[in-house]
Amino acid sequence: MIYSSPANLGVIACPGSESFADEMLSHLKNGYRRIFNNMTEEFSKRYKQKNEEILSRINFINDVINSPTNFQQAVEKVRIPKIKIPARFTCFANGEIKAEILESIRGRDIYIVQDVENRYPINFNNGELIKSFSINDHLMTLFVTVDAAKSAGAGRITLVLPVYPYSRQHRSKGREGVTAGRLGKNFEALGVDRIITLDIHSREIANTFNFMRLENLHASYQITRALLTHLPGILSDDFVVVSPDTGAVDRNKFYANALKKNLALLYKERNYERVTRDAADNNISEVRLLGDVRDKTVFMADDMLGTGGTLLNAMKFLKSQGAGKVICAISLPIFSGNAINHFDEAYKEGLFYRIIGTNAVYHEELLKREWYINVNITRLFAKTITRLHHGLSLSSILDNRSIIVKLLSESPSTAS
């Protein structure tokens, strides 16, 4: 068993990411408590000493190695250091943002959390100002926070970005910039060592970095578990997986193989001269179906839902082809503009049955919808941070096929 004290670990939550960060911190602390207890029991058996004696010795070593912040705590109990780093964020009248870190982080392993897609009002200036931010405002807040952490002497800086900003601008067509890659290089220039994100729109973005690492997590296990838990019996013989476009084939092929179901494909011709502005609009000029969906329960998975126009168009087409229930899984449920209202109308029309999404983006109204199933991914990020902090492999997290197979084998709804 490998263990090192988490006293050197620190998490900074940018404005708008507090909900995600606090849940992640709760998982981090519970995880360390389990590790500590398991290690104590193992050492107690190995050296034939009482748990209290082992705990006392471990705490002694940690107090010698780390700063004496725990000297006032009991020496024979599990002690989890304060991982969250207090910070103050100021938004000035002209829109400028300042980040101040309120305790020493010199030499520490720092993880900065930012929900760049949070559109809800957030607090600044010690609660005196409440303001909604755009993605660009959130990005600037992230930049000044990284700069503050670097200036404060952080040993290593990792960004926790459930949604990677500008990820849809990942390739150049004509006189366009590859903005997704440029952002990464800007983070590199600031001194960022690593980014942790969820289901990035294009894995090629990481190829534009010089030295910075990108850990791309997947919510497929959490989504599969939600599918089995909230929709029991749904995996019947008439269940089919449909890729909503050619770009999502690999993702849906993964689900089809894991669930042992057939895979169909929607092929779309797009007019890229049109810019989608809301869910009632899309740039699709023609749709074709490769496969059979008549009288079947359809499951579609995609990485991102913005205005939702493309997905609504796909739902209408599948219904026109005789599909039964339509279930969608979205890793990054952004629901821009008035998308929620458009999906309310589509649900009333019977175009879909359920949408499974993650809490990678903060929502309040969406969680109230009958048709929406929320999946919590903060534990996934907490496990990733723990492994990175201790220098352990991420293989079992980045490739989660084995645990999905185990989940399906244990589920009554998939038993033969």
Q: What is the DSSP string of 135-203?
A: HHHHHHHHHHHHHHHHHTT-SEEEEEESS-TTTT--S--SS---HHHHHHHHHHHHT--EEEEES-S-G
Q: Read off the tokens for 254.
A: 């993964």
Alpha-carbon distance 289 to 316, whole Å? 12
> pLDDT confidence of 83, banded at 50, 70, 90?
very high
Whether 313 contacts 282, CB under 8 Å: yes
Tell me what pLDDT residue 310 has. 86
Give the model confidence (pLDDT) of 218-241 as tens digits: 999 999 999 999 998 888 889 999
CA dihedral in degrees (373, 353, 238, 224; nearest 10)? -10
Q: Read off the tokens for 18.
A: 């507090």
Tell me what pLDDT residue 229 has. 92
Amino acid at 13: A
Tell me the average pLDDT across 380-405: 91
Domains of the chain: 220-376 (3.40.50.2020)
> pLDDT confidence of 183, banded at 50, 70, 90?
very high
Q: Which residue has the higher pLDDT, 270 or 320?
A: 320
In eight-state DSSP terms, residue 357 is: E
Tell me the average pLDDT across 62-91: 76
Amino acid at 182: R
> pLDDT confidence of 416, banded at 50, 70, 90?
very low
Tell me what pLDDT residue 234 has. 86
Tell me which residue has tokens 């519970």: 30
Q: Read off the tokens for 289.
A: 């179906």
Tell me what pLDDT residue 276 has. 58
Tell me what pLDDT residue 116 has. 96
What does the longest C-alpha to C-alpha distance in the chain come to? 73
Alpha-carbon distance 258 to 405, whole Å? 7
Per-range mean pLDDT, top range of 197-211, 245-259, 365-379: 365-379
- Residue 188: pLDDT over 60: yes
Tell me what pLDDT residue 70 has. 47
Give the model confidence (pLDDT) of 1-60 as tens digits: 344 566 789 999 999 999 999 999 999 999 888 888 888 888 889 988 888 888 888 778
> pLDDT confidence of 176, banded at 50, 70, 90?
confident
Q: How far does the chain reach from its first CA to its final CA, in angstroms?
A: 38
